[in-house]
Structure 1
Amino acid sequence: MTDPRRQVPRTDTLLADPQLAAAGERLGRGLVKGAVRRVQQRIRDGEVAPPDAVDAVLASLPTTAGSLRPVLNATGVLVHTNLGRAPLSEAAVEAVAAASGTTDVELDLGTGRRGPRGEAAIAALVAAVPAAEAAIVVNNCAAALALVATALGAGRELVLARGELVEIGDGFRIPELLGATGARLREVGTTNRVTLADYRGALGPDTGAVLKVHPSNFVVRGFTRAVEVGELAAALAGTGVPLIADVGSGLLRPHPTLPDEPDLQSTLEAGADLVLASGDKLLGGPQAGLVLGRTDLVQRLRRHPLYRALRVDKTTLAALEATLRGPLPPVQEMLAADLEGLRARARALAARFAEAGIDAVAVDADARVGGGGAPEQPLPSAAVSLPPSFAERLRQGAPPVVGYLEGDRTLLNLRSLPPSSDEDLAVAVLDCASP
């Protein structure tokens, strides 16, 4: 009897195949070699016929050398933290590709000398928020808060309402983050109520700044009281104490769909000296921490040694500028989606699935902003309802589709999915229904 191990193609023979050699140049020889060895084991186990080795290796290779996979977001959560938050616009993706090589990120091509880093992206940010005199960008909003606390509050007091000592996700808490910078927290008010007198009573020679943090991922109702930015700004006038407002979600200006969500422009107009926000939430751009406001304070942050450790790279700057200057990013399009258009998409998909023998129906559903934004603001949407078994099968498909279970059905919510992805969604569902 022939030893089955003799039928397994040699590693060097497989790697020399033109198709696998080309894949090695694109993905890396080590990655392809690992796939070859896994297929060789499958041949030994009788799962793959030796003549099919090359095809089996090609079928097992990823599309890129990285491990992250594109996912269809049918959760109805527009800014889904587990799915990478805001999807970038095509303009931003193109800008990232253009910036991925050698660029003039810190070179003035006219003079041949070193130029200011990210000048165009900063200019685009200030142009988008006219109330801001200046801006800087760091790698996320928590970094922006840490930089502000270090530069303005290290060894001094930061005055903050007790009800704004929030947890921002994954166990990270605002008081712990601020305490790690060397600032001392001066809590004022109670969990549910704080007054202007509480803030005034806390001011003293050791006050570095007054900080307001928007509690974006929860709402306190009932017997409550908060002090708005405008009230605080008026009370701090002439004291020399800066007012810092962390608005979180990155909404540039008021949005009719989200009337209670604070925005950068209105917060600065109300009197905040600096505003902080995320770039990868409602702004719809890359992960970034945005700091906008008074020129003297922004320059103070820029000159602080910690800024060098927190600044962003060229691809982030490119994506941010393209998001601000280019067409509406996907998150903004999702916010503006027409309910009747969503229903029409759901009906068309459900009809297509029903023709294939799948128990599918179009239903109304609610979507959410996500990412800690507008936690009590439902967004009317439409979804395709499928049997519950589809949730796991779709999640493990190619491409993966992430929906959600509600009762005894799987829902694929369309507000978080652009219309251009409907065909990919349909193919994924039909593939899951195939024997």
Structure 2
Amino acid sequence: MPRTDTLLADERLAAAGARLGRGLVKDAVQAVQQRIRSGELAPPDAVDAVLSVLPATASSLRPVLNATGVLVHTNLGRSPLSEVAVEAMVAAAGTTDVELDLLSGRRGPRGAGAIDALLAAVPAAGAAIVVNNCAAALALVATALGQDRELVIARGELVEIGDGFRIPELLAATGARLREVGTTNRVTLEDYRDAVHDETGAVLKVHPSNFVVRGFTRSVPVHELAGALGPDGVPLVADVGSGLLRPHPLLPDEPDLQSTLAAGADLVLASGDKLLGGPQAGLVLGRADLVARLRRHPLYRALRVDKTTLAALEATLRGPLPPVQQMLAADVETLRERARAIVARLGAAGVDASVVDAEARVGGGGAPEHPLPSAAVSLPASFAEPLRQGEPPVVGYLDDGRTLLDLRSLPPSSDEALAAAVLAVAAR
């Protein structure tokens, strides 16, 4: 049995320890020693065995090939960042001028570059702040505007946003009192008017995102509600969810930041890591006086984002189209050509693979009624689990007894890795 200190002193493992940390490498050494004790591994193979199980980084998070066809997959970290956003995060990871004016040597405004980029992208907004996610943005607004006051909201918009988190419970936790108006399927302008009084802190509009109510329904659009409340009345706050900056032809029912503000909303809230394609963040844009009120609130300090998020957000807004926008704009015939090339390579190796048409989804609660035409590589069902557990992990989905790998949610640069992963499973 090779000694622990002897293995750790090996040149290759010492280099790995300097990169990953001695403790992590030592754990891997001890696991390999146990395999030697059980007779599974020969002692001369110990170093190679340790190297084979060491992770690429000191983090337990692993890069995954998203072949689910869901562009904004919450379980897979939502939107992948663009290369310029990753570079910006790396640059910001060290010592930066996040709150220092280098010209004067005095403290400067935090995240001014990201805010300027956000306002340039949404010119209808007078000011903006960034917090750590959209739920935090809603909690901050509810606390600053609605604590010990009433927040008016339609019953049909008291939604659950995932993992058991519910909008009414989040709002009630801020100390606001909820004034529900209308019914589950219908609400009118008169319902809102009757509910607004001296104790009203704000009127909320929450986009239902991941569900649709059909049939005998009615809702009040932002422009009608804004007109009824008036320019100096109770603030109208719209949570549009997905972070779409402007209208998109493939998503006709998805609200966007620019149009919602232009329609008369005083504040809009959205996520940064969905259709915007940036890092996890909660965006608040709108009237300068209301944004200033939120910025001065003590809770804002607890919810603000770090320097790397600010850097990634600014780079996403100023840089080229982020991956999620490229996926959204992908040409279906191009997706089929990619699938045919992969299938040809797999077929040459004897793998049972074919090209099939598929339906992708925006995901993240966005555009639930607007599937996106796509193309997928079809494999036997037995491939799903070993692909998911391979290196790199490939996550597809099962449909009609086959494993489908949808290419709309995967950048073209990953096609080679996808084919190699399938061939590795086939070889086993």
What are the within-5 Å matches in structure 2 for residues 189-204 of structure 1? Answer: 189-204=182-197
Q: Note the alpha carbon deviations across 1:104-154, whole angstroms, 9 max, x for none.
A: 000001111100000000000000000001000000000000000000000
1:321 equivalent in alignment to 2:321: no
User: What is residue 66 of structure 1 aligned with on the other side?
Assistant: 59
User: What is residue 165 of structure 1 aligned with on the other side?
Assistant: 158
Moved more, 147-156 or 9-18: 9-18
1:106 corresponds, among 99, 103, 107, to 99
- C-alpha distance in 2 between matches for 1:73 and 1:332: 15
1:244 equivalent in alignment to 2:237: yes
- C-alpha distance in 1 between matches for 2:200 and 2:231: 14
2:323 corresponds, among 314, 327, 330, to 330
User: What is residue 175 of structure 1 aligned with on the other side?
Assistant: 168
- C-alpha distance in 2 between matches for 1:219 and 1:30: 51
- C-alpha distance in 1 between matches for 2:423 and 2:46: 28
1:215 equivalent in alignment to 2:208: yes
Cα deviation, residue 52, structure 1:
1.1
1:311 corresponds, among 304, 309, 317, to 304
SS at match of 1:114: coil
Q: Note the alpha carbon deviations across 1:292-345, whole angstroms, 9 max, x for none.
A: 000000000000000000000000000000000000000000000001100111
Cα deviation, residue 238, structure 1:
4.8
1:142 corresponds, among 121, 131, 135, to 135
SS at match of 1:299: helix
SS at match of 1:131: coil
Q: Note the alpha carbon deviations across 1:93-114, whole angstroms, 9 max, x for none.
A: 0000000001000000111110
Structure 1 residue runs of 4+, over 3 Å off? none
| Letter paired with 2:339 | A
Aligned residues: percent identity? 83
SS at match of 1:363: strand
1:95 equivalent in alignment to 2:88: yes
Name the count of aligned residue pairs: 428
- C-alpha distance in 1 between matches for 2:46 and 2:378: 40
What are the within-5 Å matches in structure 2 for residues 395-434 of structure 1? Answer: 395-434=388-427
User: What is residue 155 of structure 1 aligned with on the other side?
Assistant: 148
1:21 corresponds, among 2, 14, 17, to 14
Q: Note the alpha carbon deviations across 1:23-45, whole angstroms, 9 max, x for none.
A: 11100000001011111111111
| Letter paired with 1:428 | A
1:288 equivalent in alignment to 2:281: yes
Q: Which runs of 5+ in 1 are unaligned?
A: 1-7
SS at match of 1:369: strand
- C-alpha distance in 2 between matches for 1:39 and 1:384: 37
RMSD, matched Cα: 0.6
Cα deviation, residue 354, structure 1:
1.1
| Letter paired with 1:313 | D
Cα deviation, residue 240, structure 1:
2.2
| Letter paired with 1:261 | E
1:374 equivalent in alignment to 2:375: no
Moved more, 231-240 or 93-102: 231-240
1:356 equivalent in alignment to 2:342: no
